[in-house]
Amino acid sequence: MHTQRLILTLAALGVAASPALAAFSPEQAPGRLPKNVIPLSYTIAIVPNVAALSLTGRESIVLKVRAATGTIQFNSLNEKLHDVRFDGKPVKKTMSNDKAQLTTIALIKPAAVGTHTLSFSYSGKIEESAQGLFAQPYLDPSGAKRTLLSTQMEATDARRMFPCWDEPAFRATFRLTATVPAGWAAVGNMPIAKRVVRGNLATITFQDSPRMPSYLIEFSAGELAQISATKNGTQFGVWAVRGLENNGATALANAEIILADYNEYFAYPYPLPKLDSIAVPGGFQGAMENWGAITYNDQTLLLSASSSIVNRQTVFSIQAHEMAHQWNGDLVTMAWWDDIWLNESFASWMAAKETDLRNPDWKWSEAQDEDKEDAMSADARVTSHPIQQHVTDELQATNSFDPQITYSKGQAILRMFEAFLGADKFRDGIRGYIKAFAYSNATTGDLWNALNFSSGQDVRAIAAGWTEQAGFPLVSVVASCDAAGARTLQLSQKRFLLQGVDKQQASWKIPLQIRSGSDAAAHALLLTHQDQTAPAGRCDEPLSANAGALGFYRTRYDAATLAVNTRNFGRLPDPDRIALLDDQWALVEAGIDPLPTYLALAASMGSDLDTTAWIQIAGALATIEYAERGTPGHEAFAAFARSLLKPAFEQLGWNAKPNETAAVQRLRRNVIRQLGTLGDPAIIEEARKRFAAFLSDHKSISPDDQAIILNIVAQNADAATFESLHAVARAGKDETETRRYYAALMAVRDPLLAQQAAQIALSSEIPPQADSLRLQLLQRLSDRHQQLSWHEFIDNSERLLKPFAANAPLIVAQYMPEAYWSGIPLSEVEAWVRAHVPAEMGENVDRGMETARFKLAEKDRLVRDTDAYLHR
């Protein structure tokens, strides 16, 4: 209905309505299931048996048959169906194939076009990791062993809990009933409609859900308790294992603020009666935007006296991400998994905007630069992939959740378009899109059409290059000056790669933001052809071709312009300075420009306290320091790096000052950490002194500062110090402390102590709800002890990867080669990885190995160039 109104408006304005603005029909979506039978409503009743890790269920589905058919096909996995009936009558045959994850029902006589009912009973499994309905063991606050039931359906695991049409285009209503112990609480997408207690069991029925895809179903049950509030007609709840619910107070307050902002931004009020946030202990990773019932790993939702500012930032920003999905993802869903970026990039972009809006002193937008750089490093590989990637089979869908490209690159692209179109026009386009496709599905093309309409620009033509092809451009800027000093730019582009050549000769329509001079406003310029020219101020003014650092491209200035920029570095607006640092470092890494061009910029920071710029510099210095380890030039480089960081440290000191922003405090911790790693004796001495005080009174170091101080102490620990750090870790009073203190132990440099650390990471000292921590601990150990970490990983891989469930193949294929490149022969890493992931992950392995080879080659080059620079 809303769609029709949008088309009418377009027609009235004389703009040709694109066919993609027509109402969504399932034919538009690829998928394996036939489209001739469509589910309209499910009624599902389950009885979980937690002790036996099994369940029984009864299911009835109202179907629309769109073309007469003798067979009905849908998804199932590990389920046995019996008593199958079609319109109340037995069927000819029921065949379930777990390998294909399909059940096919042959009818006695073909079903006519119209509405029918399919019903059956079934038995199934409760999973032990977060796929489908899973049982999560944990120790409650009193230390007693408990189990919680929860669900994780995205991408394709609803079929593990109940047979269904498990593809995103098949929207239907769901009425869920579950029978659980009477002492348990249960949470679903919708409020509870009915609760009937019989003996020691309770049967709970939730209200019918709105029409939604199966991957958004949520059900949690266990010894849970909640805190709640009502605002503007929406009921908010934060659920946690009993005894921890009050740690959800900040999250509850955040949720109220974020929802009110989003109601306004989307101009479409949150459509469900309630929004619950459920803190799931343990193995469950990250968070999931189930409509009306968002699940979070409890460490990303709950805060205690042990929590640091980083914990608080994580909670707010992840809530802002998951809540953005309540519109983009849940109310409007991508038609198929090849458009998963529509969900994820949008939610990440919106979350950054909201986090920045409500927490200005975090400088959150600027901090997004780190994610953007991470995405650009991944996307500068020959083997990178487009944001929109072909997913033929929904089983590949899980692998398309690539955080660097799907989330971070997509987010940066949206930010670039928002700047180019203007924030108001961009928002109006989003509003039109949400309104047109509410309770339906949409494609990337639909979003571009909505933005075309709101902005009057051909957004689709500009956007295609950014989402449909891999990589991004390097813009070359050559300035010429007339006799009066007026500057004309000549602009050209080619794909930026860290190594290798671009065989496709890709090109982009690039929305540049040009600023000449340090105070002037930037102006937008669309770069569409090679050797395009544009006037840009005066030749003696600094120049930014990526003003505001909003573009997803790199810029290379001619030598004279770079010299003017370097001279004026201290006067540049912060984001322009960050863009220049990022680009110059990337040009050095790619071997395009020499190392001194970057070091000259870093050296001109002086005592300036721009957090994001310093974090960029600290990252580059850390890369060089890692390369120099074990070489004769290491100490000379460390001394040089310390001398760059010292002026900032002298401004900052050890202790936070009153009214200091969170961003400046973050900078202090970063600089101290770097100086500690670089072996600064005064820093190490002070850290030891503070640790000694901490041992007698933990309150002497604030939660914000504990990690850096304990890390510096651990790096330099002897056996006795290691034992006191270990005692601190064992005595951690909650999971937040457990995670922080055990992580610090892994920074140890002494090889014998490192072996002890590895054994600790694998021991039962780590409580079951922190199971996923083990892999992270071994990863930290790999920084100094590659061989030890690698061997412990491959010897225990199954157990270490179990908490990561569906994401485990991506971790192995891509992240293992990226972590283990400096101490293990690459052929050994590659052989092991290929033998331990499914064959269809081959491209992911190629990406991981490309990065491993690049880092190895870069290491030698950086050592050579750094030593030459320092002996000049």
Q: What angle do CA 419, 424, 427 make, to 5 degrees?
A: 90
State the Cα–Cα distance between residues 390 and 400, nearest whole angstrom: 9
Taking the complex as a whole, how short is the minimal distance between the CB of residue 351 and Zn ion, in angstroms? Answer: 9
Report the phi/psi class of residue 13: left, alpha or beta, with left for phi > 0 and alpha for psi in -120 to 50. alpha
Q: Does 342 bind Zn ion (CB under 5 A)?
A: no
Question: Which residue sits closest to Zn ion, CB atoms considered?
Answer: 347
**Adjacent-strand bridge partners of 134:** 127, 150
From the list 35-43, 257-265, 338-346, 823-831, the region that binds Zn ion by CB under 5 A is 338-346
From the list 108-116, 340-348, 641-649, 741-749, the region that binds Zn ion by CB under 5 A is 340-348
First-to-last alpha carbon distance for the chain, in angstroms, is 71
From the list 179-187, 344-352, 717-725, 777-785, the region that binds Zn ion by CB under 5 A is 344-352
Nearest to 218 by CA among 234, 203, 235, 239: 239
Long-range CB contact pairs, 850-855, < 8 A, 24+: 850/381, 850/382, 850/383, 850/499, 851/377, 851/378, 851/381, 851/817, 851/818, 851/821, 852/817, 852/818, 852/820, 852/821, 852/826, 853/499, 853/821, 853/826, 854/381, 854/498, 854/499, 855/818, 855/821, 855/822
From the list 29-37, 343-351, 414-422, 794-802, the region that binds Zn ion by CB under 5 A is 343-351
Distance of CA 353 to the CA centre of its chain: 15
Q: Which is nearer to Zn ion, 344 or 750 (CB)?
A: 344
Report the phi/psi class of residue 267: left, alpha or beta, with left for phi > 0 and alpha for psi in -120 to 50. left
Taking the complex as a whole, how short is the minimal distance between the CB of residue 422 and Zn ion, in angstroms? Answer: 26
From the list 306-314, 341-349, 439-447, 560-568, the region that binds Zn ion by CB under 5 A is 341-349
Q: Does 347 bind Zn ion (CB under 5 A)?
A: yes
Q: Which is nearer to Zn ion, 330 or 344 (CB)?
A: 344
At 204, list the tokens. Answer: 């709970």
**Adjacent-strand bridge partners of 334:** 442
Q: Which is nearer to Zn ion, 285 or 779 (CB)?
A: 285
For residue 322, indicate whether it is catalytic. Answer: yes
* Phi then psi dihedrals of residue 165, to 5 deg: -85, 90
Q: Which is nearer to Zn ion, 324 or 474 (CB)?
A: 324
Identify the burial level of 196 via C-beta atoms within 10 angstroms of its C-beta, where 0-12 means exposed, 13-18 middle and 19 or more buried. Answer: exposed
Positions 536 through 565 that interact with Zn ion (CB under 5 A):
none
Contact yes or no for 131/156 (Cβ under 8 A): no
State the Cα–Cα distance between residues 294 and 870, nearest whole angstrom: 53
Q: Which is nearer to Zn ion, 111 or 320 (CB)?
A: 320
At 814, list the tokens. Answer: 């891509």
Positions 206 through 225 that interact with Zn ion (CB under 5 A):
none
Q: Does 320 bind Zn ion (CB under 5 A)?
A: no
Count CB neighbours of 263 within 10 A: 15
Taking the complex as a whole, how short is the minimal distance between the CB of residue 418 and Zn ion, in angstroms? Answer: 19
Site string for Zn ion, 259-298 (x = CB under 5 A): ----------------------------------------
Q: Which is nearer to Zn ion, 244 or 335 (CB)?
A: 335
Contact yes or no for 755/719 (Cβ under 8 A): no
Q: Which is nearer to Zn ion, 411 or 736 (CB)?
A: 411
Taking the complex as a whole, how short is the minimal distance between the CB of residue 700 and Zn ion, in angstroms? Answer: 39
Taking the complex as a whole, how short is the minimal distance between the CB of residue 254 and Zn ion, in angstroms? Answer: 17
Query: What is the C-alpha radius of gyration for the chain, rounded to an integer number of angstroms?
Result: 28
Which is catalytic among the residues 167, 322, 373, 858? 322
Contact yes or no for 704/671 (Cβ under 8 A): no
Q: Which is nearer to Zn ion, 297 or 449 (CB)?
A: 297
Taking the complex as a whole, how short is the minimal distance between the CB of residue 115 and Zn ion, in angstroms? Answer: 35
Taking the complex as a whole, how short is the minimal distance between the CB of residue 399 and Zn ion, in angstroms? Answer: 16
How many residues bind Zn ion (CB under 5 A)? The answer is 2
State the Cα–Cα distance between residues 326 and 39, nearest whole angstrom: 22
Taking the complex as a whole, how short is the minimal distance between the CB of residue 327 and Zn ion, in angstroms? Answer: 12
Q: Which is nearer to Zn ion, 347 or 463 (CB)?
A: 347
Nearest to 549 by CA among 397, 741, 415: 415
Q: 663-699: buried (b, 16+ CB within 10 Å) or exposed (e) per residue? A: bbbbbbbbbbbbbbbbbbeebbebbeebbeebeeeee
Taking the complex as a whole, how short is the minimal distance between the CB of residue 433 and Zn ion, in angstroms? Answer: 18
At 774, list the tokens. Answer: 């083990």
Helices 2-12 and 444-455 cross at an angle (nearest 10°) of 40
Taking the complex as a whole, how short is the minimal distance between the CB of residue 26 and Zn ion, in angstroms? Answer: 23
Q: Which is nearer to Zn ion, 347 or 708 (CB)?
A: 347
Q: Which is nearer to Zn ion, 644 or 811 (CB)?
A: 811
Nearest to 493 by CA among 507, 504, 478: 507
Taking the complex as a whole, how short is the minimal distance between the CB of residue 288 and Zn ion, in angstroms? Answer: 8
State the Cα–Cα distance between residues 132 and 159, nearest whole angstrom: 7
From the list 129-137, 346-354, 598-606, 696-704, the region that binds Zn ion by CB under 5 A is 346-354
Q: What is the DSSP string of 285-353?
A: -SEE--TTEEEEEGGGT---TT--HHHHHHHHHHHHHHHHHTTBTTTEEESSGGGHHHHHHHHHHHHHH
Binding site for Zn ion (CB under 5 A): 344, 347
Catalytic residues: 322
